[in-house]
Amino acid sequence: MWLKERISQGIVEIFLSQIEKGYKIEIKNSNYFFALNKNLTHPSLLYFNHQTGDDLLMMFYLLLKYLPQRKNVIIPTALNYLHFFSQYPHYVLGVELAKIVANYQMVPIIQSYRLTKENQKEGQRLSLDLFRRLKNELRNDESQAITVALFPEGHRSLTGKLLPAEPGVGLMVRMFPDEGWILPIALRYPKNIRHGLNYNRGIKTEVSICCGPLTNVSTIREQAESFNFSGKRDSAFFSHFLMWQLAKNLPEERRGVYRDDFLERTFRGDFELKINPEDNRVGVWDKVSNSFLPDIY
């Protein structure tokens, strides 16, 4: 056991070192991680915006470097990217290393916009498996409190503008106890960033990470009650509410459907992710106009 832990720690140290050689990382409000490390009995939720293939590496980097005490980690993982012969082998490799080295629970899911008649039952089964796992972990007093890390948008934004969040992240607010922690993490890259991996040991890729504010679930629920919205406070509502908090850490032009002029329609549920059959790309579908939003797509 000691040897396995030492080997795993060595791999983690190599990973962190290599990340810092290929990226120039600037983190704002990293003190929030200290607070999470000091409160290991409370579950926590970390959620990120998603723009490039580097995002998963940044997630692992933050978890391993700044939250080493939080070892009971659950990361919902897109089933579509879990095949070595997919477009994103680095994603698969990262997932497998996280499972083996860090002992993270990488739980497969199928995003809602990828559901079809053929895979709908499998998608429902995977979602139910994730729900049960979360429920069991939250009830388990013997293990360390869970840390859930995820990308609420469920897909990379090709324009870097925020996409509508799926209901899953909002479900966490409804499941977590009042003392559970919630931390939005906004990732920003240079304007000319590619959508794949941008690791560069020659000219380090700049990454700006803005965290916070760190709040507990009780506070989020109180803030949600005073929010000007006449609809139900369901999982979809809380997903949008959390993404709106994250959007405040981004410049106006990057806020996408969480810009002030879109906000009312976003909470109303006018937008969803959809695959365009003409080019097989994922975009924001406007249910009212029956068209893709051109400035975000």
pLDDT tens-digit series, residues 4-27: 788 888 999 999 999 999 999 999
Residues in the chain: 297
CA distance 77 to 148: 11
CA distance 33 to 66: 6
Q: Render pLDDT for 131-144 as a digit per residue (tens, 0 to 9).
A: 999 999 999 877 78
CA distance 71 to 63: 9
Enter the pTM of the model: 0.95
CA distance 82 to 89: 8
* pLDDT for position 87: 67
CA distance 209 to 62: 10
Q: Render pLDDT for 107-137 as a digit per residue (tens, 0 to 9).
A: 999 999 999 999 999 999 999 999 999 999 9
Can you identify the CATH homologous superfamily of domain 25-270?
Answer: Glycerol-3-phosphate (1)-acyltransferase (3.40.1130.10)
CA distance 126 to 2: 34
Residue 160 half-sphere exposure, CB side, CA atoms within 13 Å?
Answer: 17
Residue 61 in contact with residue 245, Cβ under 8 Å? no
CA distance 66 to 31: 9
| Whole-number Cα distances in Å, 119 to 122, 166, 218, 257, 278 | 5, 18, 36, 28, 21
